Amino acid sequence: MNKLPDNFLWGGAVAANQVEGGWNKGGKGVSVSDVMTAGNKGAERKITDGVIDGYYYPNHEASDFYSQYKQDIALFHEMGFKCFRTSIAWTRIFPKGDETGPNEEGLKFYDDMFDECLKYGIEPVVTISHFEMPYHLVKEYGGWRNRKLIDFFINYCEVVFKRFSKKVKYWMTFNEINMIVRKPWKPGGIQINENENKLQAEYQAAHYMLVASAKAVKIGKAINPEFIIGCMFLHPTSYAATCSPDDVLAHVKKLQNAYMFLDVSVRGKYPNSYYKFLEKNKLLIQTLPEDEAVLKEGTVDYIGFSYYSSSIVIANPSNQDKSKGNEISGYKNPLLPASEWGWQIDPVGLRITLNWMYDKYQIPLFIVENGLGAIDTLEEDRSIHDNYRIDYFRKHIEEMKKAVLEDGVDLIGYTPWGCIDLVSAGTGEMKKRYGFIYVDRDDKGNGSFKRYKKDSFYWYKEVIKTNGEIL
Ligand code: BGP
């Protein structure tokens, strides 16, 4: 057997807040991404206190998928997508988050969008919360610091599970759930206050989100036992900087700390190392006695994860350069090249990652994000020659195939990130492009929103057509 399974889910991934735009259309409320200004490589995005005149908010219009989804999905179909990963914007369904009833117009939008996918036999893969929680829940309740968020989230889940029960089979609860303990704004609506203990706030929120995720799995399965519900984990692939046992131990500790999220989501229980971590850092996490059973009963069917790059771990760092990675920084690996944004490119790291996770958890995996953010040039004839992107994908898909065909990893599918150009979550830039489809829009909000096929579009089409045989 030298072929990927016939039902392998080739596709692409986006998130509502980064692609849809229409930020105040159809009754939509303000989300945490709607109050983020544009940044760049050197400057962080600002978070404003609500939407304020005079600032530019790139997610407000994003890539205009809200109005152009029909033609975009037709393009995905042209590439041969078997699935399309997107998220539901919580604020389209519950504009403020604490209402009792949903916004019908928001539900209708997703009904139509999923229908459009299904028309072409494209399976929707849906993230329930991808950096777009209602801003009102931040102002009124303090975001995921507050246990009340569990109920609001579950109310929202119940509504979308019921409404889309016949249209969506593959779900994920929180995008990159482990980002809450590094950069808590986008996943959790948390800005650390002066004098606030950062770790305490983050680990408390993490617990509530893990409980919410488990509850969502249980409720989803009760609504439709056919649902396939996963978690979504940012895999912080890294290596010990040297064979010094101290570096190796530091690396083991780093992974152990991150895998806590998978231990809970997959096995339904915190590992001992988590309790030791709390002790060491003097963290007191509020829990309810019932939480233990909730976590046990709401374990996931698969692990969705993002993988872009890798870094190294040094036990006793001096002044080495930090390598910018996907929101979770590590040290720079001297053996690897990097993208223009400093993310180190490591295709073999994908194979290693797949092996690590599959060895440990033995449930199906799904690569739901992978890709290269790069500057593209739109030529006069409207072509885009992005062979650097093709090269990135070719090498990663080769390693992915080895993991499946030579190592025996059970992998459901592959959805490259930002299959159509969209707003970067990290920097708010448009010029950090990931797509197979170019969107005419720049960092200042100029452009026609017209779509153009990049060279990678035709290349990926062939990859899907041959089920990964021709790369
Ligand atoms: C992940 C997020 C995505 C996406 C991607 C690329 O962290 O799940 O939303 O944005 O990274 O990152 P960026 O947009 O910062 O280039």
**CATH number of the structural domain spanning residue 168:** 3.20.20.80
* Mean pLDDT, rounded, for 282-306: 98
Mean of per-residue pLDDT scores for the chain: 96
Q: Which tens digits make up the pLDDT trace of 144-180?
A: 999 999 999 999 999 999 999 999 999 999 999 999 9
Q: Which tens digits make up the pLDDT trace of 71-117?
A: 999 999 999 999 999 999 999 999 999 999 999 999 999 999 999 99
Residue 321 has pLDDT above 70, yes or no: no
Q: For residue 234, how far is its CA from the centre of ligand 1 (angstroms)? A: 10
Would residue 21 count as lying in a domain?
A: yes
Task: Give the integer Cα–Cα distance in Å for 376 and 388.
Answer: 10
Which of 176, 202, 327, 429 does the annotation list as catalytic? 176
Would residue 1 count as lying in a domain?
A: no
- pLDDT value for 152: 98
Residue nearest to atom 9 of ligand 1 (CA): 425
Amino acid at 12: G
Domain that holds residue 357: 9-465
Annotation marks residue 290 as catalytic: no
- pLDDT value for 223: 98
Q: For residue 331, how far is its CA from the centre of ligand 1 (angstroms)? A: 19
Which of 123, 132, 202, 369 does the annotation list as catalytic? 369
- pLDDT value for 74: 98
Backbone angles phi, psi at 188, to 5 degrees: -130, 0
- pLDDT value for 2: 73
Helices 245-262/272-280 angle, 10° precision? 110
Q: Which tens digits make up the pLDDT trace of 337-393?
A: 999 999 999 999 999 999 999 999 999 999 999 999 999 999 999 999 999 999 999
- pLDDT value for 151: 98
Q: Which tens digits make up the pLDDT trace of 423-446?
A: 999 999 999 999 999 999 999 999
Residue nearest to atom 7 of ligand 1 (CA): 326
Residue 239 has pLDDT above 70, yes or no: yes
Residue nearest to atom 16 of ligand 1 (CA): 424
- pLDDT value for 269: 98
Residue 324 has pLDDT above 80, yes or no: no
Q: Which tens digits make up the pLDDT trace of 193-229?
A: 999 999 999 999 999 999 999 999 999 999 999 999 9
| DSSP H helices in 224-344 | 245-262, 272-280, 291-297
- pLDDT value for 318: 73
Residue 246 has pLDDT above 70, yes or no: yes
* Mean pLDDT, rounded, for 58-80: 98
Q: For residue 426, how far is its CA from the centre of ligand 1 (angstroms)? A: 6
Would residue 470 count as lying in a domain?
A: no
Atom of ligand 1 nearest to the CA of 423: 14
The helix (run of H) or strand (run of E) holding residue 104 is helix 104-119
- pLDDT value for 41: 82
CA angle at 372 for the pair 123 and 444, rounded to the nearest 5°: 95
- Token pair belonging to 428: 């708010």
The helix (run of H) or strand (run of E) holding residue 365 is strand 365-369
Atom of ligand 1 nearest to the CA of 343: 16
Atom of ligand 1 nearest to the CA of 422: 14
Would residue 2 count as lying in a domain?
A: no
Atom of ligand 1 nearest to the CA of 232: 8
Residue 326 has pLDDT above 60, yes or no: no
- pLDDT value for 325: 55
Q: For residue 408, how far is its CA from the centre of ligand 1 (angstroms)? A: 28
Residue 329 has pLDDT above 90, yes or no: no
Residue 330 has pLDDT above 90, yes or no: no
Provide the domain count of the chain.
1
Q: For residue 152, how far is its CA from the centre of ligand 1 (angstroms)? A: 25
Would residue 98 count as lying in a domain?
A: yes
Residue 189 has pLDDT above 70, yes or no: yes
Ligand 1 pocket: which of 179, 308, 369 to mutate (most atoms within 8 A of CB): 369
Would residue 3 count as lying in a domain?
A: no
- pLDDT value for 3: 84
CA angle at 58 for the pair 54 and 63, rounded to the nearest 5°: 140
Q: For residue 279, how far is its CA from the centre of ligand 1 (angstroms)? A: 32
- Token pair belonging to 241: 């900087």
Ligand 1 pocket (Cβ < 6 Å) reads: 15, 18, 175-176, 306, 326-327, 369, 373, 417, 424-427, 432
Q: Which tens digits make up the pLDDT trace of 36-46?
A: 999 988 888 99
Q: For residue 220, how far is its CA from the centre of ligand 1 (angstroms)? A: 26
Strand order in the sheet with 311-313: 238-240, 311-313, 330-331, 322-323
Atom of ligand 1 nearest to the CA of 131: 9
Q: Is 61 strand, coil or helix?
A: coil
Task: Give the integer Cα–Cα distance in Å for 92 and 136.
Answer: 13
Residue 322 has pLDDT above 70, yes or no: no
Residue nearest to atom 3 of ligand 1 (CA): 425
Task: Give the integer Cα–Cα distance in Å for 361 and 354.
Answer: 11
Would residue 398 count as lying in a domain?
A: yes
Closest CA to 398 of 343, 348, 434: 348
Would residue 216 count as lying in a domain?
A: yes
Residue nearest to atom 15 of ligand 1 (CA): 426
